[in-house]
Amino acid sequence: MNLRYRHAMITLLLCCMLLMLPGCASTSKDRVLETTKSQVELRSFQTRAFDTTDREKMLRTIISTLQDLGFVIDKADSLIGLVSATKLDKYKLRITVTVRQRGNSQLLVRANAQYNLKAVEDPQPYQDFFSALEKGMFLTAHAVD
């Protein structure tokens, strides 16, 4: 067999193995604090302000909106203002929604979600969630700077 041909084959083989390496440079532990978007960017599309101070009504509306969207509620806490829920529909979608006071006249609502094994870092699903919540609250969701 041609020696040059063999060398070429082996070089190609090594190159292909190198292709697989980038994924090996980081360990799975690095994903504990990993995000693909910046903190500011994430907050901007995961957060909206509503012109109300009725925290309880907001939390109850979040719960009923999540039920409308097909979620089963996992946990709720009225003291710190949070609701977590899971949707199963051939996939697993988990969401946590928090509510906190902003100034004297507004509530800030923030949502974060994970789809199967990935964080949801696309603005559109959050936009969809907030427009469903707007309908439930009969209020407009304002973008927050």
Partner 1 sequence: MAGKLKTILVAVVVPSILISGFTGCAPGIPKDALKLSETSLQDRQMQTRRYDGSSEADILSASAEVLQDLGFNIDESETKLGLLVCSKERDATEAAQVAASIAFAFLAIATGSSSSSLPIDKKQQIRASLVVKPGGEDNPGSYFVRITFQRTVWNTENQVSKIEGIRDPKIYQEFFDKLSKSIFLEANEI
Q: Which residues bind partner 1 (CB under 8 A)?
A: 1, 5-6, 9, 12-13, 16-17, 19-20, 22-23, 56, 59-60, 63-64, 67-78, 83, 85-93, 113, 115-118, 120, 122, 124-126, 128-129, 132, 135
Which residues, 6+ apart, have CB-to-CB distance to 125 below 8 Å?
113
> Closest separation between CB of residue 61 and partner 1, Å?
9
Rounded to an integer, what distance in angstroms lies between the CA atom of residue 77 and that of residue 54?
15
Rounded to an integer, what distance in angstroms lies between the CA atom of residue 70 and that of residue 124?
18
Output 2 or 38, the one with its CB closest to partner 1: 2
> Closest separation between CB of residue 12 and partner 1, Å?
7
